[in-house]
Amino acid sequence: MEASKTLTIEKEQRHPMDELLRMDRIPHIWCPGCGIGAAVSAFAAALEKLEFDLDKVCVVSGIGCTGRVAGYIKLDSFHTTHGRAIPFATGIKLGNPDLKVVVFSGDGDLVSIGGNHFIHAARRNIDMVVICVNNFIYAMTGGQVAPTTPIPAYTTTSPFGNFEPPSNIPRLAEAAGAVYVARWTALHLRRLTESIVEAFQRPGFSVVEVISPCSMYYSRINKLGEGIDMLRFYHDNAIIRHGEPTENLDIDYQKQIIIGRFVDRERPTFMDSYRKWLSGAESISKEKVDEKN
């Protein structure tokens, strides 16, 4: 009798996400108030809804705070070099097109050093989901300015305030050719989960941007409070506008943030185009062989 009681208690203490996390590596390294954990939870919830064969899902991360995600998720995880998560993921996808590939990385990793790979993968419409956690700063290395840092935020390498216009990730993704582009915040978890589900369901290059607090650097250096204060800010200042033209999605410092689903279109994926070309090439070479005979 005693034995079964203990068993029941143990079961109740297990967390729904335990299956998907590498529990031997928990506690994780993220700071209190960081939004990355929330993004990971939304991702786990999305995977549950999609009911994929988890053996066939690969997570690829780069370097940075968000880059640590691959290390905590119990799928085939790859923690690669800085900025090269997307080409690495491209290789996985082309090596075995049956695998589902998700790139989970930060704004600096994906849009700064990885920018070239980002736009080319979008152009080619490689079938992958990119979850870009945007905390407006290079947090892992100590709080340097990022290409997404708004004007005139303070960071360690913009000690007089940032003066460079920030990148607008949804606009860049759309101009480069992405087929699904959405933006949510670490607060809007339910909608983020739905978006990740949709992103997986769309064939082609999908980008989901997650605006996240950085309590240790961005909000601390700029005296914006802690993680919870940033979430309150998102609550009061984030406006959902589906289909908004991406040129209106610039994020100004401590102003309104437009979130929602902005791009949802169809384009032939890389593998579609490749297969079509291959059949054409095969028939040409077959002709050449026939000619010779």
Round to whole Å and give the CA distance between 85 and 80.
6
Q: Does 175 help bind other proteins (rule: CB under 8 A)? A: yes
Site mask for other proteins (CB under 8 A), range 227-246, x = bound: -------------------x
Round to whole Å and give the CA distance between 179 and 165.
25
Which of 160, 291, 292, 293 lies at the binding interface for other proteins (CB under 8 A)?
160
CB of 249 to other proteins, least distance (A): 11
Alpha-carbon dihedral sign for residues 90, 91, 94, 95: negative
Q: Does 177 help bind other proteins (rule: CB under 8 A)? A: yes
Residues 6+ apart with CB under 8 A from 160: none
Find the binding residues for other proteins in span 28-57 (CB under 8 A).
none
Which of 37, 71, 97, 115 lies at the binding interface for other proteins (CB under 8 A)?
115
CB of 63 to other proteins, least distance (A): 6
Instruction: Please choose, out of 95-103, 139-147, 183-191, 227-235, the segment that lies near other proteins by the rule CB under 8 A.
Output: 139-147
Find the binding residues for other proteins in span 250-289 (CB under 8 A).
267, 270, 273-274, 276-277, 280-281, 284-285
Site mask for other proteins (CB under 8 A), range 84-113, x = bound: ----------------------------xx
> Cα 134–261–114 angle (5° rounding)?
35
Q: Does 144 help bind other proteins (rule: CB under 8 A)? A: yes
Other beta carbons within 10 angstroms of residue 199's beta carbon come to: 25
Query: 166 near 151, Cβ under 8 Å?
Result: yes
Helix axes 36-50, 189-201, angle to 10 degrees: 50
Which of 19, 164, 252, 287 lies at the binding interface for other proteins (CB under 8 A)?
164
Q: Does 220 help bind other proteins (rule: CB under 8 A)? A: no
Query: 156 near 218, Cβ under 8 Å?
Result: no
134: three-class secondary structure by DSSP: strand
Q: Using DSSP bridges, classify how beta strands 100-106 and 128-134 pair: parallel, antiparallel or unpaired.
A: parallel
Output 108 or 213, the one with its CB closest to other proteins: 108
Q: Cis (ω within 30 of 0) for the bond into 27?
A: yes
Which residues make up the interface to other proteins (CB under 8 A)? 63, 79, 81-83, 112-116, 119-120, 123-125, 138, 140-142, 144-145, 147, 151-152, 156-168, 171-172, 174-177, 246-247, 267, 270, 273-274, 276-277, 280-281, 284-285
